[in-house]
Amino acid sequence: MQFIIGLGNPENRYEGARHNVGFAVVDLLAESLNIAFRAGRGEFLVARGSCQGHPLGLVKPLTYMNESGIAAAEIREQFDVALDELLVVCDDFQLPLGRLRLRLSGSDGGHNGLYSIIYHLQSEEFPRLRCGIASDLTLKGKTSMAEFVLDPFADDERPLVADMLDRAKDACLSVAVDGLEKTMNKINGPVLT
């Protein structure tokens, strides 16, 4: 079973924030698969369904971004999930807004959620889908990167964000059905405008 872990912060005040892109993607997935999130046996919400006969689990950690690894470890243990059956979806302030990058493994790249997952799983060998959030507004008028990632997207960014979220949803479904390598070949690269 493929488990897709969307990273974000659970309070309503963070809905629509740049840092909650992972939550937004798994919410779109749940909607498209007509499944609902329920409390899991741990610090997460989980929704289970299938896509073209392939079983799929969606996860939203409730631990806040910096402790996302707790939920990832709980999922791995409870469902006996191999590392390559996890797909972590998160924001990336180093990628241009709208760009997607799917990788089989790698470092945390300065992302606290990925850092926590690497720490709790004791491995960097899990796939991740990074969704670009960098823009001209990246640090303009901001006192810190934390302030930037917790802010909502600007109105003029929303069409590109909506397109990115939709493509990320499709990429997750492709991973579940077609596998990581084929999906990487389809989505990695610049956004075509």
**Domain residues of the chain, as ranges?**
2-187
> Which pLDDT belongs to residue 147?
78
Place of tokens 């659970």: 10
Over residues 102-121, mean pLDDT: 95
Answer yes or no: is pLDDT of 142 > 70: no
Over residues 18-45, mean pLDDT: 97
**How far is 111 from 93, CA to CA, in rounded Å?**
9
Q: Which has the higher per-residue pLDDT, 74 or 149?
A: 74
Give the 3-state secondary structure of residue 170.
helix
91 φψ region: left (φ > 0), alpha (ψ -120 to 50), beta (else)? beta
Q: What is the mean pLDDT of the chain?
A: 92
pLDDT level of residue 164 (50, 70, 90 thresholds): very high
**How far is 87 from 129, CA to CA, in rounded Å?**
7
Looking at domain 2-187, which CATH architecture does it have? 3-Layer(aba) Sandwich (3.40)
> Which pLDDT belongs to residue 190?
57
- Is the pTM for the entire model greater than 0.85? yes
Positions marked catalytic: 19
Place of tokens 């990487």: 184
